[in-house]
Amino acid sequence: MKEDFLKYQAQTSPYPLALQISHAKGSYIYDTDGKAHLDFVAGVSACSLGHCHPKVVEAVQKQAETYMHVMVYGEYVQEPAVAYTKLLASLLPPSLETTYMVNSGTEAVEGALKLARRATGRSQLLAARHAYHGNTMGSLSVMGYEERKSAFRPLIPDVGFIRFNNQDELEKITDKTAAVILETIQGGAGFIEPTNRYLKKVRQRCNATGTMLILDEIQPGFGRTGKLFAFEHYDCVPDILVMGKGMASGLPVGAFTASNELMSSLQDSPKLGHITTFGGNPVIASACLATLKEITETQLIADTLKKEALVRKLLKHRLIREIRGKGLMLALIMENAEIANHVILECAKRGLILFWLLFEPRAVRISPPLTMSAEEIESGCGIILEVLEGYKQ
Ligand SMILES: Cc1ncc(COP(=O)(O)O)c(C=O)c1O
């Protein structure tokens, strides 16, 4: 099957890990040789409730037997998406009331950028250096890493960049700027948190210039950092909130949320300002609803911070320079990229799944399901320490 995989499925790197999957359950992925792999990555922060969570599976099965797709986004009243967006609104600040559901994170970013341009009548977009917002043309245009995008130029015009956490550069936000888009915690760059009330200052500058603030919470959202959304840590409410990944606990989805007034600008001039066939799909929306209920009706969010503390307590080693991030969005920053590669590949052989970050080669990603138990975290951290002990410089 591996040969067919390499031949018939388009590849994104010359050396895919090519683990051959049999099935997955809870915190484990099982390969076709019957080996169990403890999953410290959760499909890159997507499987928030682990693999095949019974409540998500039940919701999906029930909806799949009822109706799966009946109309394009927004035309018909479909209970799963209505119930979901209503519950989400009840958990967000009042200005984040209306949600547009799409099919992926990058598509949610596209929608948010379009909404900001449409609502302000301005074109300029500002993003952060080393930002990652996805891979479609708009998202790529606001990616802050030239090496990954130059082959695809020309991208969308009137995009500028500021340094994340640099307050001096906030002057670049002017009354010509439609939107500033930031990851609340920078992911690909190395799990970098905003410091010194940075986001609050961005918010103030956006207020002064009539600029929309878009926060991309595709990775930190849905409890991963110990709050439902990470912006709650930093006292800064965006005009447009972008989400995805952990939202449906492993099914493809994204969304952007704004005030009802703002969102209504996609209804006219032109009408059908953003459309999609499958956005708000009832099966996916059922998974979203089951996931959100489970995250918010249990101790999972509060436990995330305890689990972070456990990882930080266990993973003390001379080769780990620092542990960045918050909650269960953590990155071990090693002395160099070679050690990071060694840890990821050696742990894989010993049945622990770790992964890289996009733009920080010294990083080892730890973003397990929120449902992972303390015992499983201890066992995974034990494997990392064993591998580090065995590393010969
Ligand atoms: C912060 C951030 N924005 C956007 C995206 C793109 O999401 P998707 O891969 O679902 O298009 C990602 C995915 O890694 C992300 O981490």
User: Which atom of ligand 1 lies at the shortest distance from residue 358's CA?
Assistant: 14
What tens digit of pLDDT does each residue of 235-257 get? 999 999 999 999 999 999 999 99
In angstroms, what CA-CA distances link 143 with 106, 160, 161, 164, 305?
A: 11, 10, 9, 13, 29
Nearest CA to ligand 1 atom 6: 134
Nearest CA to ligand 1 atom 10: 105
pLDDT of residue 297: 98
Pocket test for ligand 1, best of 12, 130, 133 (most atoms within 8 A of CB): 133
Nearest CA to ligand 1 atom 13: 134
191 lines ligand 1 (CB under 6 A): no
97 lines ligand 1 (CB under 6 A): no
pTM equals 0.97
219 C-alpha to ligand 1 centroid (Å): 7
362 C-alpha to ligand 1 centroid (Å): 20
Which region holds residue 249: left if phi is over 0, alpha if psi is between -120 and 50, else beta? left
Q: Which of 188, 219, 187, 182 is closest to 203 using CA atoms?
A: 182
Cα angle 183-309-304, degrees, rounded to a multiple of 5: 55
Question: Is-contact 131 182, C-beta < 8 A?
Answer: yes
132 lines ligand 1 (CB under 6 A): yes
Q: Which of 63, 103, 64 is closest to 83 using CA atoms?
A: 63
221 lines ligand 1 (CB under 6 A): no
106 lines ligand 1 (CB under 6 A): yes
pLDDT of residue 247: 98
181 C-alpha to ligand 1 centroid (Å): 13
Residues lower than pLDDT 70 in the chain? none
130 lines ligand 1 (CB under 6 A): no
160 C-alpha to ligand 1 centroid (Å): 20
217 lines ligand 1 (CB under 6 A): no
Question: Is-contact 50 38, C-beta < 8 A?
Answer: no
pLDDT of residue 98: 98
Nearest CA to ligand 1 atom 7: 105
pLDDT of residue 284: 98
What tens digit of pLDDT does each residue of 335-367 get? 999 999 999 999 999 999 999 999 999 999 999
pLDDT of residue 9: 94
Nearest CA to ligand 1 atom 16: 219
pLDDT of residue 393: 75
Question: Is-contact 280 255, C-beta < 8 A?
Answer: no
Distance CA 347, CA 345 (A): 6
Pocket test for ligand 1, best of 44, 182, 219 (most atoms within 8 A of CB): 219
25: three-class secondary structure by DSSP: strand
Distance CA 288, CA 12 (A): 28
Which region holds residue 61: left if phi is over 0, alpha if psi is between -120 and 50, else beta? alpha
